[in-house]
Amino acid sequence: MQAQLLWRTLPSLVLGLLFLSMPAMGSCSDKYPELLGQLQKQADFMQHTNTLLDLYIRSQGLDKNGLKEHCRERPGAFPSKDALQRLSRRVFLRTLDTTLGHVLLRLAALEQDIPKAQDLEMLSVVKLNIRGFKNNIHCMAQLLPGSSETTEPTPTSPGASPSPTPTLDTFQRRLEGCRFLHGYHRFMRSVGQVFREWGKSLSRSRRHSPHQGLLKGARRMQLSGRNKRLMPRVQLAPGSHRGAPGG
Amino acid sequence: MALFSVFQTTFLLALLSLRTHQSEVLSEPLPWAPESLKVSINSTHQCLHLQWSVHNLAYHQELKMVFQIEISRIKTSNVIWVENYSTTVKGNQVLHWSWESKLPLECAKHFIRMRSAVDDATTPEQRFWSNWSSWEEVDVQNSLGHEPLFVFPKDKLVEEGSNVTICYVSRSQQNNISCYLEGVRMQGQQLDPNVSMFNLYDVAFIRETGTNIYCKVDRGDDIKGIVLFVSKILEEPKDFSCETRDFQTLSCTWDPGRDTGLLKQLPQSYTLFESFSGKKILCKHKSWCNWQVAPESQEMYNFTLTAENYLRKRSVHILFNLAHRVHPMAPFNVLFNDVSVTNATITWKVHSTGNYYTLLCQVELYGEGKVIQKHNVSVKVNGELVLSGLQPDTEYSAQVRCANANHFWKWSEWTRQNFTTVEAAPSEAPDIWRNVKSVQGYCVVTLFWKPLTRLQANGEILFYNIVVKDLDRPSGLQLLSVPAPANRTELTLDQRSYQIHVTANNSVGTSPASVLVVSGDPGDEVEEERVKGTEGGFSLSWKPQLGNITGYVVEWCDRPRDPPCDLQWKHLGPNTTSTVISSDAFRPGVRYNFRIYGISTEMVPHLLEKKTGYSQELAPSDNPRVVMSNLTSHSFTLSWKDYSTESQPSFIRGYHVYLKSKAGQCHPGSEKAVLSDDSVCCKYKIDDPKQKTFVVGNLQPESFYEFLVTPYSAVGEGPHGAFTKVTTPDEYSPMLIRIILPMIFCILLIMILCYLKSQWMKEKCYPDIPDPYKSSVLSLIKSKENPRLTIMNIKDCVPDTIEVVNKHEGTGKSPTEPEAAKPTYLYLLPAEESYSGPGPCICFENFTYNQAASDSASCGHVPVPTKAPSQLGLLTSSENLLTALEKNCMNSLEEIPAGESSLNYVSQVASPMSGEKSSLPTNPPQPELCSEYKMQMAIPLGLAAPSSSGSSSLSSITLLDEGEHYH
């Protein structure tokens, strides 16, 4: 049991350090492909249910026939893959950041229902990973062209409510938590796919459009004009042009 | 006053009775009837709370009343609970009463009503009840909302082992609903078409996050459930006790028992209450708590420890006198003073616990890890104790602890210190023994001794002193000093008697001496006896010796098979005649030899008995290496002389000889035996282990046999390994061999002799050039055939032809120059035609003549051509021939006896005139009939012509020159 926990925890810790590496260094990478690759890998990692959902199901006793079937994402709790694909990159990143902010709040609420110290430790690692991922999102937003322009409004997410209504009894809260985590993993899978599409378009544009170099030059110009030093935790507020401290 | 009270009560009862009667008539409420009944619900605790007041009770009035409460479920007629609630009611007081429902209140309507009566304890059967209040209905279902399904109770907390009732409320009667407890379907009981209840008995703790119970509509996605938090029962604290170490703080400890498992939902608390002081503290820790001792001297304490959670409360009590709960602190400053060879003084100090207390201290002395002394000492402040009976040069450990001497509660912790006593001289003489060998007229004595034990050594042994005293020469002393840790030394002594003293020495002094006498007399050899060993060892006994015997010594080797056999010995008293020798080194299958010596008063050991045996005999592991000999057609001999019975794992009692044959018949002296591979053979038994030869007889000629020789002992025989194969010869072969072999030998001998004497034989019988003088053939012929035949003598020859050879000297010209080679020879040989008829001739019979010799190596009779030039050409052109002439002619000339004639005869081999020579462009002379040799006369030097060739004719010339000396 201890070995299994270690096996689960270790890669998470390594990835967490990876997430936090850039903020710890105090600056964003201006290498778009590198950052995109990291985001993609991190999203791929976070989509796995063994990082969070499986742990929750086990600790809450939801791993029983008749219950597992009800641990399904509630439609609308998280943006669908199609909805994400339709968003512009900037809005996509903002949506992603906002949604993950809500996830963090919800995880804090779920923490109350997890009694075991080992499980709590796993949960804190997951939260650490999400914070790192949000920082990378911020860096990516800075690399996008026209980051100072007025952006489109972020689509409202039905699942944006930070926690279920407090009147819910423990059982309903438990099921809701399970559904939420299921949606979270699905959401991260969709996010990973979107990032993969970004990567494909990047390689296509490299092959076919020499204009990319100009684009990157323009981005660098934008970056050079601002202080790139980041706060450890950055959240993109809807409608804002620059990252604001939050968390 | 009492009378007045009775009167008043009687009056009131009468009045009440009258009013009751009136109320029946007038329908008016009686005084003191319950009114304003209100019912509220606590869903969390499934409780109904009732509150009401009493009608017409004056403000100052106080009345003891009883209220009868009825609760119905679903319908008023279904009364499920009736309870009489007695209380003293004051005027205008609002009364409260609660009832906890086992069925969740949401699952059914409840109806409540009550009535009252004055509580007369003396005559309860004569109570005059008021009218029932009207039914109060409690229906929570109406406020549930519009969801299709509900399950109750929500988030209920119970202890394991409890019984719980679950229910669901469905909004639709058509729904088929199933409910599950942790995935297992439950069987319920329908209360009404929309409500079912499930009784759970003796619920168990499953996990900290609670037990999931849920209900689902069979055809739909709706699922509703509850979490039942089942807690383990809060245990009563165990081993609750308080003590003080400094009279300032009381430290109370307890064992909280097992966890309830629901620490988040069901936190538990521990409180400590002291009844004499009335103080109460909430403990921060679940297993201990500190209580400050009051400055004023409170001797007695009565503590109540209460463990509590939402579901249960547990308490334990202790009452004690503070002075009886003193746990002293560990002693300190433990020191050792005046440490000598056998004594030491230990001192220590204790922490002050007030002037009125005496401490009892316990001192334990440890030696070699064991407690060897235990002392109790009463101490006020400082403790002191003399430890005696100690061993010199020994490390000891002493530890001290203390407790309240008057009211023992607990010992303090130990405080430990080590010390070592001073060294002393060794107290015992070393145990010595010897091994004596005679080498080249000397006694080589190996002296062994055992190291002294710690108790004997009294310190570190530094060396051993060995004094060798010649008993024949009192002045002859020899001293050896062997440094420790050696346990042996070797002495080379002559064949006299010596007394050996051995002492062990440490830094303080010398041990008593061990004495042993080594005698040059080896003593009488004694017969060896066999002894049977067991796992426990060898039980040895011997005959008691008469005379002055100071003791006995048994000697053996622990590893007799290894060269340093690890000599062991055991000293025994003079009255002992038996002992058991045991050793961890004894192994099964190893023969151990024991020698028993008697030690005389002069300390001279005499060998008394020898015993040998095995701790456990094992079956022989090896078969002897058998040599077969004397194989005949009817028998053969087997021998295994080099087989040592001494080194076998058991006493060899004899041998078994197994013989396999195709015939399968066993002759007398043998018996049939079936081997492990089911083969049948004949077994011969040899009972004498010293007999190491065996003749296998009665065999068939030209037959195939297999044999095996294996030893046997008391525990079995050797392995049945590979049999040796043998085939008997036929009967005649030996005879033939006896004849043929000598013949072959003789022939070989002759052949060798012939070979070795071949030269001699050749010379004798067939020389290359027969020497007529030496030829025995001639004599043989002469003697047998023609006695007249003899060797030709010059004198007997009448020359009829003279050949004159003209020899030129100093020409030096090449023989190829025709001018220089003018023939100057004068040929005096007779013409062939002048040779007439048969005349006297000399014939040599040359037995070894052959063509090769005639071609090249013979002293060729060169046919003389009639013309000189042609003959010259022949001579100059045939160098081989000349070379051959050189050799053979020289030899021949040398062999000619000199002095008999002025002419030398050169023996010549006649050319057969065949082959190449026949092709020579000369006119070959016709062979002389019956003449192979011709007489030839050498011409004096002045007449001889010079040789036309240089070296090639040198021999001839030399010969001719030498011919100058001819006579």
Cβ–Cβ of B212/A174 closer than 8 Å? Answer: yes
Q: Write out pLDDT tens, residues B234-284.
A: 999 999 999 999 888 999 999 999 989 887 888 899 999 999 999 999 999
Q: What is the mean pLDDT of residues B825-841?
A: 43
CA distance B175 to chain A (A): 17
Q: Which of B27-31, B111-115, B652-656 has the lowest mean pLDDT?
A: B27-31
DSSP state of B826: B
What is the pLDDT, as a whole number, of residue B859? 38
Residue B182 has its nearest CB partner, among A61, A113, A171, at A61
Structure tokens at B683: 């077994």
Q: How many Å apart are CA B406 and CA B321, to the nearest integer?
A: 13
Q: Please name the residue of chain A whose CA is at the shortest distance from the CA of residue B154.
A: A169
Chain B positions touching A70 (Cβ under 8 A) are 221, 223
What is the pLDDT, as a whole number, of residue B697? 87
The residue ranking higher by pLDDT, A165 or A56, is A56
List the single best residue of A56, A64, A171 to mutate versus B (max B Cβ within 10 A): A171
Q: Please name the residue of chain A whose CA is at the shortest distance from the CA of residue B180.
A: A66
Cβ–Cβ of A175/B182 closer than 8 Å? Answer: no
Strands of the sheet containing B195-200, edge to edge, are B149-152, B164-170, B195-200, B189-192
| Terminal CA-CA length for chain B | 212
Residue A61 has its nearest CB partner, among B151, B209, B223, at B209
Most confident of A57-66, A159-168, B276-285, B805-814: B276-285
Q: Between the CA of residue B45 and those of B49, B101, B155, B170, B347, what are the distances in Å?
A: 11, 9, 10, 22, 68
How high is the mean pLDDT of chain A? 74
Q: What is the mean pLDDT of residues A130-151?
A: 80
Counting beta carbons within 10 angstroms of the beta carbon of residue B690, is it exposed (0 to 12), middle (13 to 18) or buried (19 or more)?
exposed
**Would you tell me the crossing angle of helices A211-224 and A117-143 to the nearest 10 degrees?**
110
Cis peptide before B522 (omega within 30 of 0): no
What's the full length of chain B, in residues?
967
CA distance B223 to chain A (A): 8
What is the pLDDT, as a whole number, of residue A242? 33
CA distance B167 to chain A (A): 15
Cβ–Cβ of A61/B210 closer than 8 Å? Answer: yes
Q: In chain A, which among 174-193 make CB contacts under 8 A with chain B?
A: 174-175
* CA geometry: angle B48, B53, B55, nearest 5 deg: 140
What 3 state SS string does B748-800 have? HHHHHHHHHCHHHHHHHHCCCCCCCCCCHHHHHHHHHCCCCCCCCCHHHCCCC
What is the pLDDT, as a whole number, of residue A148? 54
Q: Which of A105-119, B61-75, B166-180, B942-956 has the lowest mean pLDDT?
A: B942-956
CB B879 within 8 A of CB B948: no
Give A222's pLDDT tier (boundaries 50, 70, 90).
very low
DSSP B630-693: ---SS-EEEE-TT--STTSSS-EEEEEEEEEESS----TTEEEEE-TTS-EEEEEEE--TT--E
Chain B positions touching A66 (Cβ under 8 A) are 180, 183, 214, 216
Residue B208 at interface with chain A, using a CB cutoff of 8 Å: yes
CA distance A195 to chain B (A): 34
What is the pLDDT, as a whole number, of residue B803? 61
Cβ–Cβ of B209/A115 closer than 8 Å? Answer: yes
Cα-flanking dihedrals φ and ψ of residue B179, to 5°?
-120, 145
Cβ–Cβ of A67/B226 closer than 8 Å? Answer: no
Q: What is the mean pLDDT of residues A168-180?
A: 91
User: Which residue from B514, B494, B497 is spatially nearest to B448, judged by alpha carbons?
Assistant: B514
Q: How many Å apart are CA B127 and CA B120, to the nearest integer?
A: 7
What is the pLDDT, as a whole number, of residue B632? 86
Q: Write out pLDDT tens, residues B528-555.
A: 899 988 888 999 999 988 888 899 999 9
Chain A positions touching B225 (Cβ under 8 A) are 171-172, 175
Q: How many Å apart are CA B753 and CA B747, to the nearest integer?
A: 10
Q: How many Å apart are CA A54 and CA B836, to the nearest integer?
A: 149
**Residue B26: pLDDT above 70?**
no
Residue B206 at interface with chain A, using a CB cutoff of 8 Å: yes
Cβ–Cβ of A64/B221 closer than 8 Å? Answer: no
| Helical (H) or strand (E) element with B118 | strand B110-118
Cβ–Cβ of B223/A70 closer than 8 Å? Answer: yes
Give B1's pLDDT tier (boundaries 50, 70, 90).
very low
Residue A67 at interface with chain B, using a CB cutoff of 8 Å: yes
The residue ranking higher by pLDDT, B191 or B947, is B191
Q: Write out pLDDT tens, residues A229-244.
A: 333 333 333 333 333 3
| Helical (H) or strand (E) element with B281 | strand B279-282
Q: How many Å apart are CA B919 and CA B926, to the nearest integer?
A: 14
**Residue B337: pLDDT above 70?**
yes
Most confident of B474-488, B771-785, B837-851: B474-488
How high is the mean pLDDT of chain B? 78
What is the pLDDT, as a whole number, of residue A210? 45
Residue A64 has its nearest CB partner, among B183, B224, B264, at B183
Torsion (CA) B924, B926, B931, B933 in degrees, nearest 10? -10
Q: How many Å apart are CA B624 and CA B639, to the nearest integer?
A: 9
Most confident of A22-31, B309-318, B674-683: B309-318
Q: How many Å apart are CA B944 and CA B964, to the nearest integer?
A: 11
Chain B positions touching A176 (Cβ under 8 A) are none
Give A213's pLDDT tier (boundaries 50, 70, 90).
very low
Chain A positions touching B207 (Cβ under 8 A) are 59, 61
The residue ranking higher by pLDDT, B567 or B967, is B567
**Residue A166: pLDDT above 60?**
no
Question: Quick check: helix, strand or coil at residue B253?
Answer: strand
Q: Which of A48-57, A203-212, B387-396, B956-965 has the lowest mean pLDDT?
A: B956-965
Residue A116 at interface with chain B, using a CB cutoff of 8 Å: yes
The residue ranking higher by pLDDT, B895 or B424, is B424
Give B578's pLDDT tier (boundaries 50, 70, 90).
very high
Give B800's pLDDT tier (boundaries 50, 70, 90).
low
For B513, other C-beta atoms within 10 Å of its C-beta total: 16
Residue B212 has its nearest CB partner, among A112, A116, A171, at A171
What is the pLDDT, as a whole number, of residue B890? 42
Q: Write out pLDDT tens, residues B631-651.
A: 888 889 999 988 888 889 999
CB B50 within 8 A of CB B43: no
Residue A85 at interface with chain B, using a CB cutoff of 8 Å: no
Sign of CA dihedral B98, B101, B104, B109: negative
Residue B227 has its nearest CB partner, among A66, A114, A170, at A170
Looking at the DSSP assignment, which residues form a beta bridge with residue B713? B652, B716
Exposure on the CB side of residue B463, measured as CA atoms within 13 A: 7
Residue A61 at interface with chain B, using a CB cutoff of 8 Å: yes
Chain B positions touching A112 (Cβ under 8 A) are 264
Cβ–Cβ of A171/B224 closer than 8 Å? Answer: yes
**Residue A195: pLDDT above 70?**
yes
CB B298 within 8 A of CB B248: no
User: Which residue from B716, B715, B696 is spatially nearest to B707, judged by alpha carbons?
Assistant: B696
Q: What is the mean pLDDT of residues B390-417?
A: 93
CA distance A97 to chain B (A): 32
Q: Write out pLDDT tens, residues A76-134.
A: 899 999 999 999 999 999 999 999 999 999 999 988 888 888 888 989 999 999 999 99
**Residue B219: pLDDT above 80?**
no
Residue A227 at interface with chain B, using a CB cutoff of 8 Å: no
What is the pLDDT, as a whole number, of residue B790? 58
What is the pLDDT, as a whole number, of residue A227? 37
CA distance A175 to chain B (A): 10
Residue A61 has its nearest CB partner, among B151, B207, B264, at B207
For chain B, percent of residues with pLDDT exceeding 70: 75
What's the full length of chain A, in residues?
247
Cβ–Cβ of A169/B216 closer than 8 Å? Answer: no
Residue A12 at interface with chain B, using a CB cutoff of 8 Å: no
Chain A positions touching B209 (Cβ under 8 A) are 59-61, 113-115
Give B57's pLDDT tier (boundaries 50, 70, 90).
confident
CA distance A170 to chain B (A): 6
Q: In chain B, which among 243-302 make CB contacts under 8 A with chain A?
A: 263-264
Structure tokens at B690: 């010293």
Q: Please name the residue of chain A whose CA is at the shortest distance from the CA of residue B226.
A: A171
Residue A210 at interface with chain B, using a CB cutoff of 8 Å: no
